[in-house]
Structure 1
């Protein structure tokens, strides 16, 4: 290969160097440093290598088992809700409704809001006595519901808020996938006598696999590592009802147990990796090319 051709091929690579440096500094180095510091007792100025002691202590925490269970429920539950509801909304918003532009804006708007702002707002709206939601239910003759203070429903209440906030991005991804399907497929199906439900099942669903896979993966990862929404609404309570892996880690860090909190981050990273990568590979095999 001539020097001129080699230089021509290398030229676009030069533009990747700044992004690669930033990625290494912000992600690669902290990730591998976390694995090391999880085996140490460290402060901002010093560290002592203590082996597996942090892991033994971390997994002996009584709140960890509850936090792990809640994390899995939260991650898979919110992901399922976003996948299904966003798909229904996307189908509705691609039907040519006169107000579909307005509806898209309304659905996407919560995505622009800070998770903390959303959490604090819903904490006020869901107050058992003065909250607007219970006030409205009372006007309809229903009793007051302790959305965020009842151990049995607190986690599901926060999950509902999360689904509401994340619907915008999921719906937008679905809309993009639906609009990329050639209209000829639907016209041919209509000529063959296919109903709307059959067109959705045999044309829309298979051909938006790529979009659906993205929604599933992104929403699942987001749910498994959620912190700010839970922290701003319940703080992990009542009791351990909404305690997640992230809130357990935060409490350890706030208590000055930096080594233990690092273990929490490493464990959560491994859990997400063990779930997300095989899942994405499996879903990728189900995709259909147009």
Structure 2
């Protein structure tokens, strides 16, 4: 009996042990508590609106009322007569803008990480358009590209070249907007490339120089492959931005002339303007699915390429 009474306190946790257990639990929960503010913001700003968008895409809704119609909005949006043109324009716009940003961003990144005397000033100049409002850029270039009074055609006339209505011609409207998009966004791509190139160890360049390699060899065998993480980021960011592009196209052409420069986003906005809120919400959901269907395989492919390097 005495033995049992003496052994019992050894098996039961004492006050100190319980306090240590509670302190351990608090310490283990502490890191997760730091995620809570970000999780609440993510829930309120992204998850809740996304779920609501999927629901309202299945309804005909106004500010005060909604009627469930199932998949009818999706059928109506997919039967939109300009959707095929908008889809082609969206893919063309995304490919052109992302491709040019990669090429120009890489070249400018190499130039602005060299021993150029004015490289710090030029970095600011290249990045400046990124800071300017997209709407302001659109209105400014709309004025610059006017056929009669625009500065671009006046400059071309000085060298004996006849200008054209860049934004009023179906053959050049979308390409003109895409080039303005490249001008505005190449600064961000350049900054990403500068960071990527500066992270490459100098030993690799010294090894190429010791072997008698030229500047081209340093670029081809060191800079190009080892800056792949930067290329990976620029391609994804630029392509996603191109697929979702709206504000620059709307301020410069409004999808015109006619519907020749319409993208999926501008078609959706025209449905909003016409008061077809459920239809345009269904268009937004379809655009989200299109971007996901394109970007997820692209991300997987580029990720495998990144591992291979």
TM-score bin (small chain) = over 0.9
Displacement of 1:12: 2.4
> Is 1:261 paired with 2:286?
no
Alignment partners' CA distance in 1, 2:242 and 2:214? 36
What's the counterpart of residue 143 of structure 1?
Answer: 162
> Partner residue of 1:200?
219
TM-score normalized by the length of structure 1: 0.97
Structure 1, 17-26 or 277-286: larger mean CA deviation: 277-286
Q: 2:130 aligns with which of 111, 129, 138?
A: 111
Give 2:105's aligned residue.
86
**TM-superposed deviation, 1:195:** 2.2
Q: Which residue of 1 aligns with 2:171?
A: 152
1:69 equivalenced with 2:101 (yes/no): no
Q: Is 2:248 aligned against 1:232?
A: no
Q: 1:273 aligns to what? A: 292
Question: Post-superposition shift, 1:193?
Answer: 2.0
Deviation at 1:140, TM superposition (A): 1.4
CA–CA separation in structure 2 for the residues paired with 1:134 and 1:57: 42
RMSD: 1.4
Q: CA deviation at 1:289?
A: 9.0
**Matched ranges for 1:245-256 at <5 A:** 245-256=264-275
Residue in 1 that maps onto 2:263:
244
Change in Cα spacing, 1:76 to 1:141, as seen in structure 2 (3 Å) is: same
Which 5+ residue runs of structure 2 have no aligned equivalent? 1-19
Structure 1 outlier segments of 4+, above 6 Å: none
- Equivalent-residue separation in structure 2 for 1:126 and 1:103 (angstroms): 25
CA distance in 2: counterparts of 1:11 and 1:99, whole angstroms: 49
Q: 1:289 to 1:179 in 2, by over 3 A?
A: farther
The residue number in structure 1 matching 2:3 is none
Deviations 1:3-57 (A, max 9, x none): 4334223222222211111111111111121111111111111111111111111
Task: Say if 1:38 and 1:266, in contact at 8 Å, map to a contact too.
Answer: yes
Residue 283 of structure 1 is matched in structure 2 by: 302
Query: Partner of 1:24 in structure 2?
Result: 43
Deviation at 1:2, TM superposition (A): 4.2
Note if 1:210 corresponds to 2:229: yes
SS of the counterpart of 2:160?
coil
Question: Which residue of the other structure, out of 63, 67, 86, is the alignment partner of 1:48?
Answer: 67
Q: Which runs of 5+ in 1 are unaligned?
A: none
Q: When the two structures are superposed, what TM-score results if normalisation uses the length of structure 2?
A: 0.91
Mapped pair 1:128 → 2:147: yes
Larger Rg: 2
3-state secondary structure, aligned to 1:16: helix
Q: CA deviation at 1:184?
A: 0.7
Looking at structure 2, the residues matched to 6 and 175 of structure 1 have their Cα atoms a distance apart, in angstroms, of 45
CA displacement at 1:238 relative to structure 2:
0.3
Q: CA deviation at 1:138?
A: 1.1
Correspondence for 1:188? 207
Secondary structure, aligned partner of 2:82: helix
In the alignment, which residue of structure 1 is the partner of 2:9?
Answer: none
Partner SS state of residue 239, structure 1: coil
